[in-house]
Structure 1
Amino acid sequence: MIRIKHENLAVQMSPMFTLYIADLLAPYENEKAVTINFRDPNYSADDGGYHPVEIRLENEGDGWRFLYITDYCFVGSSYMAELAKDLDFDFGAGVFKNLFGSYPIEQAIEMFQIWETNFVYYAMESKVFKIKFTLD
């Protein structure tokens, strides 16, 4: 069984979230690092949809450690829209960033709980994402 090392993070992760990520990592248990991309194929600047999410984990031998979780969104509209980091939980640097600035990750506890609840619902219940893995 894949072990996710989440106990010492500044934000608390739910067992449902960590089990979901562990299940996704199972085929890659011998890899050094994995980046998981979650994409709603219908997401666009004009029509909206579910934000793309990227999660990066590193295998430390005795378990997997989260490096970052980034939620992207379109900024602007139509042909001028650009995909930008909306929420960035950088566990390696201990920093939380959003469109308004950069903060110590401890200030993102509530934001992470809201994000995680929504993500788990979209990914596990609604199954809106196509998932792609990049291995290092």
Structure 2
Amino acid sequence: MSHIQYEGLALPVSKALADAIVSIIPKNVDNDVITINFRDPTYSPESGGFHPVEIRLENRDTIWHFCYITDFAYLGMGGLAKELDFDFQAGVFQNFLGIYPIEQASDMYQIWEGNFLHYWQTMHVYKLNISS
């Protein structure tokens, strides 16, 4: 079984999120990097919906590590843009207002993660695509 390093990170990633992601990682991944895309097929600039989310993981010594978690949103009627970007590797948090040290996003991250898990695990709004 896979394991995701979630303790000791700059943000309070929960065991619940780590366990949920581990449960969807394919058993025989051919690559040391995977990207998981969560998409609400009905999300559009006209009708709204649940924001697309992308999570990238890197495998080091049989343990998966978070590279980034990005939440996308439409900017008006334009294309998708990063609304929230938690970049564990670079140690930064980015939103529409700017780029900050990742530690400053702790409170926002906890709210985001709780909502995301609810949408994914309880409401089942996302279609998943895993690529390596």
Same fold (TM over 0.5): yes
Gapped runs of 5+ residues in structure 1?
A: none
For the 8 Å contact 1:2–1:26, the answer to whether it is kept is no
Give the corresponding residue for 1:41.
41
Distance 1:128 1:10, change over 3 A: same
Residue of structure 2 equivalent to 1:124: 121
**Counterpart Cα distance in 2 of 1:8 and 1:28:** 27
Question: Number of paired residues?
Answer: 132
Task: Assess if the C-alpha contact under 8 Å between 1:2 and 1:29 holds in 2.
Answer: no
Counterpart residue type for residue 64 of structure 2: W
Which TM-score applies when normalising by structure 2? 0.95
Aligned position for 2:96: 99
Question: Which runs of at least 4 in structure 1 moved beyond 6 Å after TM superposition?
Answer: none
How far residue 76 of structure 1 moved from its aligned partner, in angstroms, is 1.3
Structure 1 counterpart of 2:99, which letter?
A: S
Task: Give the share of equivalent positions with the same residue, in percent.
Answer: 48
Which residue identity lines up with residue 54 of structure 1 in the other structure? E
Unaligned runs of 5+ in 2: none
The residue that corresponds to 1:68 in the other structure is 68
Residue 11 of structure 1 corresponds to which residue in structure 2? Answer: 11
TM-score by length of 1: 0.93
